[in-house]
Amino acid sequence: MARIESVDLPKNKRIEIGLTYIYGIGVSRSKEILSKIQLNKNIKVKELNDEQIISIRKILSQEYELEGNLRRSETMNIKRLMEISCYRGRRHRLNLPLRGQRTRTNARTGRGTKKTIAGKKKAPRK
């Protein structure tokens, strides 16, 4: 089993898809990495030898910010926006969409569930 950036890659998937299990790597970045080391993208993860795994680790550690460091920098960027209280920071603080989406009918996750208005009292049973 290949373990890269403290993530166990799934054994039976192609390496192109297996690399996407690492936070910060999508399909396009995965293809880019495999083309740099001239590795076939259709090889399964379990078929990789040690030299290939080492070369993938080397490229990832030198050129990309992944996993914990990437998560940390994202949260720091969001905290900075909230501290300077710019528009995006205020929207983050209120848990509302921040890229111009409408909130009148959608954005239910941020706004919470719909609150019903109390109806008429029912007549008591006889």
Q: Answer yes or no: are the C-beta atoms of 52 and 20 closer than 8 Å.
A: no
Is pTM beyond 0.95 here?
Answer: no
Residue range 78-112, pLDDT digits in tens: 999 999 999 999 999 999 998 988 888 888 887 87
- Fold (CATH) for 3-64: Helicase, Ruva Protein; domain 3 (1.10.8)
CATH architecture under which domain 69-111 falls: Irregular (4.10)
If one compares 125 and 23, the residue with the highest pLDDT of the two is 23
Domain ranges for the chain, please list them. Answer: 3-64, 69-111
Nearest to 64 by CA among 26, 4, 24: 24
